[in-house]
Amino acid sequence: MKFKIIIATAVVLIAVGGLVYLNSSRIESTETISQAPNVDELIVPQQDARTSVKIERAILSKDGYVVIRGGDGRRIGQVIEISRYLEVGENKDITIELGDFYTYNEADQLIAMIYHDDGDKSFNDLDQPVNASAVFAETGKPVLASVFEHEVAPSDGMGMVTVRYTNTGFEPAKLTVPEGTMVEFINQSDEEMWVASNIHPSHEILATFDQFKGAGKGQSYMYTFDKKGTWPYHDHINPSLEGIINVE
Ligand SMILES: [Cu+2]
């Protein structure tokens, strides 16, 4: 009988001990999670957003950037400007200057959204946008999810046009496309490709038309030409290789 009581006491002690242990480890893990917010959020005050965009608070679940993109309310447009590198957690009072090459036009509905860095601390096309974080830069109101469905579709259903980058340069080197066409530049050369608008090295003719990074063989860069004009470009790594996109 005495033996049974000892066993019963031991069982109770082990059970209590186990519960205490489980509980404490659970508390530890919640503490770790609470350091990194699990939702990304942008809080943006009402503003003009003509030459700069003010972000009151950017809450990031992962290191990244706040990116300002163009938009017409139906379709998301090109990247216009990128904030400095932001660390996970809450970042307050960020001003993003829109740069000398951006001119405000009444149809613009600039969009601010969070992108997560892929680990190299520089903004490139591997960094993923957090669509749910997107707000209109002027009003701070959320951007409807339907806007993102049209992100990569050309506006006129013309389909994608391809330019190949080979060891001898861009093919075709001269291309005319209707406004709103997406052009895919495919690297079929043995070198890295970095497509950028002229003039090298500042790329100011069409500042958003810039790959911002070199990409190896087999990779591609896509850009939607939504501005009419003649846009000469080059390979930033090998600037003597040039091409022209004429947007009508
Ligand atoms: Cu260049």
User: What phi, psi does 55 have (nearest 5°)?
Assistant: -110, 120
How many whole angstroms from 42 Cα to the centroid of ligand 1?
33
Tell me what pLDDT residue 6 has: 55
* pLDDT, position 126: 76
Under 8 Å between Cβ of 243 and 234: yes
Within-domain flag for 14: no
Q: What is the pLDDT of residue 182?
A: 86
pLDDT at 38: 86
Q: Write down the number of H helices and E strands in the chain.
A: 2, 15
pLDDT at 11: 55
Residues 92 and 60 in one domain: yes
The pLDDT value given to residue 175: 87
Between CA 106 and CA 138 the distance in angstroms is 12
In angstroms, what is the span from residue 162 Cα to ligand 1's centroid?
Answer: 21
Residue 208 CA to ligand 1 centre (angstroms): 13
| Residue found by looking up tokens 């046009």 in the block | 161
CATH code at 101?
Answer: 2.60.40
| 169 and 142 together in one domain | no
| Residue 13 confidence (pLDDT) | 54
Q: What is the pLDDT of residue 12?
A: 54
- Does residue 102 fall inside a structural domain? yes
d(CA 116, ligand 1 centre) in Å: 26
Residues 6+ apart with CB under 8 A from 195: 165, 185, 209, 210, 211, 221, 223, 233, 235, 236
**Ligand 1 centroid distance, CA of 243 (Å):** 12
26 is a domain residue: no
Distance 200 CA to ligand 1 centre (A): 4
Give the pLDDT score at 33. 47
One pLDDT digit (tens) per residue for the chain, 248 residues: 555 655 555 555 555 555 555 554 444 444 444 578 889 999 999 999 999 999 999 999 999 999 999 887 777 777 888 999 999 999 999 999 998 778 888 888 899 999 999 899 988 777 888 888 999 999 999 988 777 765 433 333 345 688 889 999 998 898 888 888 888 898 999 999 999 999 999 999 999 999 999 999 988 899 999 999 999 999 999 999 999 999 98
Distance (Å) from CA 161 to ligand 1 centroid:
22
Distance 197 CA to ligand 1 centre (A): 7
Q: How far is the CA of 104 from the centre of ligand 1 (A)?
A: 25
CA of 211 to the centre of ligand 1 (A): 10
pLDDT confidence of residue 31:
44
Residue 9 CA from chain centroid, whole number: 60
Task: Tell me which of 128, 149, 170 is where a domain ends.
Answer: 149
**Ligand 1 centroid distance, CA of 38 (Å):** 38
Between the CA of 194 and the centroid of ligand 1 the distance, in Å, is 8
The predicted pLDDT at position 80 comes to: 86
Q: How far apart are CA 175 and CA 243, in angstroms?
A: 8
Provide the domain limits for residue 47: 41-149
Report CA(150)–ligand 1 centroid distance (Å).
30
> What is the 115 CA–ligand 1 centroid distance (Å)?
25
Rounded to 10 degrees, what is the CA torsion of 127, 128, 132, 135?
Answer: 30
**Domain for residue 126, yes or no?**
yes
Distance 198 CA to ligand 1 centre (A): 7
Expressed in angstroms and rounded, the spacing between residue 192 Cα and the centre of ligand 1 is 13
Task: Specify the number of domains making up the chain.
Answer: 2
Whole-structure pTM value: 0.52
CATH number at 201 reads 2.60.40.420
Interval between CA 46 and ligand 1 midpoint (Å): 36
